[in-house]
Amino acid sequence: MRAFTITGPNEGEVRDPPVPDPGPGEALVRVGFVGICGTDYHIFKGDFMSAYPLVNGHEFSGTIASLGPGSGEWRGGDRVTVDPTLTCDRCYHCRRRQANHCDSWGALGDTRDGALAEFVLVPIKNLYRVEDHETLEEAAFTEPLACVVWGVERLRVMPSDRVLIFGAGPIGALLAQMLSWSPAADIVVVDVTEEKLRVVRQLGARATYVAGDDLAGRLDERSRGRKFDVVVDCTGVTTVIQGMFAYAAPNARIMFFGVASPTVQVTISPFDVYRQDWQILGSMAINSTFQQARDLLAAGRIAVRPLITQIAVLEDVARILGRAKTPTELKTLVRPASPDLG
């Protein structure tokens, strides 16, 4: 089979490893579509301590090619998407519904070969069915949406809350869309490009602003001086993270959602946190939220097609990961296999 393989920091190539055989409790999935996300860029650059060589890719859909013993209800040809999270289900954190902090946490495409390949080996327990009316392109968004569902659960948005989101990429757009039918009183999204903001307005953001001079003044004018009860960074950009506290109201929930490099440092005033009663939150990956995301997509409550910028092939991946994303780029999907999966 063909697989894009990261061989070292900023280095990758398409290789031809053997097709793996599924063992007990495993399925071999023929990959239909894989989304490239910020984590993939970090892994490619060497920011994360992933062991090379590595086949990355963790947002994906496809069809079951073969099954090992213990396959239960699953059959070859079933259309699926896969929770990439690998957990023990036994440790202290798993028992407390904190599986995203499992003592032996891992993930397909991060600690084990993932989906930027024609085939990927996955645990059967991680399979989720794709409904007949859904496309595999849409189903590939289940993983990032599951991350957003967990973030929304952490934020606990309340009636009258004013929400400010920095970043109109796929995560910011999905978050704005989910919150559009929450009790939030206002949802404002800030980004550097009007093209992305146009998409998030279509998906439910109530107001958008292009970042630039006097952003604070423009937001103050809209809110008559009132700051925001929920402030979320979906960029992972140091300057944005450093500046987001200036927009937080007393008692605000401030969330770091975008994945920054592990070496990034920002300055926070402990006195301000104390004086303003701020809650500072993280939102790490997926935490038992994959089924909720699956249900939302299958029911048509979340639109993802407007987020697809391009569909690439394996030979494009090194170039894509090796350059900075363009300002107007949203989600790139990669199709490793032939296009007959539908």
CATH number at residue 163: 3.40.50.720
Please say if the pLDDT value at position 338 is more than 70.
Answer: no
| Best CA proximity match to 110, nearest among 66, 64, 62, 55 | 55
Q: What is the mean pLDDT of residues 91-96?
A: 97
**Do residue 255 and residue 331 come from a single domain?**
no
Q: Are residues 276 and 310 in the same domain?
A: no
Is pLDDT of 339 > 70? no
Of residues 149, 168, 133, 174, the one with CA closest to residue 286: 149
Mean pLDDT of 192-203: 95
Residue 37, classed as helix, strand or coil, is: coil
Q: What is the pLDDT of residues 227-248, one digit of tens each?
A: 999 999 999 999 999 999 999 9
| Residue 289 within a domain | no
Q: How far apart are the first and last CA of the chain?
A: 20
Residue 21: CATH number of its domain = 3.90.180.10
Indicate if 260 and 275 belong to the same structural domain: yes
**108 and 231 share one domain:** no
Q: Which residues, including other chains, have CB under 8 Å from residue 61's CB and lie 6 or more apart?
A: 31, 32, 33, 79, 80, 81, 82, 130, 136, 137, 139, 140, 142
What does the pLDDT look like over 302-315, one tens digit per residue?
A: 999 999 999 999 99
244 shares a domain with 161: yes
Q: What is the pLDDT of residues 265-303, one digit of tens each?
A: 999 999 999 999 999 999 999 999 999 999 999 999 999
Same domain, 15 and 112: yes
Provide the CA 184 distance to its chain's centre, in angstroms: 22
Q: What is the mean pLDDT of residues 101-112?
A: 97
Query: What tokens were used for 168?
Result: 């109109």
Assess if residue 204 is contained within a domain.
yes
**How many domains in the chain?**
2
pLDDT at 158 over 70: yes
Q: What's residue 70's pLDDT?
A: 87
Sequence length of the chain is 342
Residue 83 and residue 170 in one domain: no
Q: Measuring CA to CA, which residue among 266, 334, 340, 288 is closest to residue 120?
A: 334
Q: CB 276: neighbour CB atoms within 10 A?
A: 17
Same structural domain, 39 and 66 = yes
**What distance in Å separates the CA atoms of residue 50 and residue 53, rounded to the nearest whole number?**
9
Q: Residues 114-148: pLDDT tens digits?
A: 999 999 999 999 999 999 999 999 999 999 999 99
Domain assignment present for residue 22? The answer is yes
Query: Across all residues in the chain, what is the average pLDDT?
Result: 95
Same structural domain, 159 and 241: yes
- Which tokens belong to 197? 């903001």
Per-residue buried b or exposed e for 179-207, using 16+ beta carbons within 10 Å of the residue's own CB: beebebebbbbbbbeeebbebbbebbbbe
- In this structure, are 46 and 112 located in the same domain? yes
Nearest to 163 by CA among 239, 269, 234: 234
Domain that holds residue 13: 3-141+304-341
Whether residue 189 sits in one domain with residue 225: yes
Asked if the structure places residue 80 within a domain, the reply is: yes
Taking 90 as the threshold, does the pLDDT of residue 197 lie above it? Answer: yes
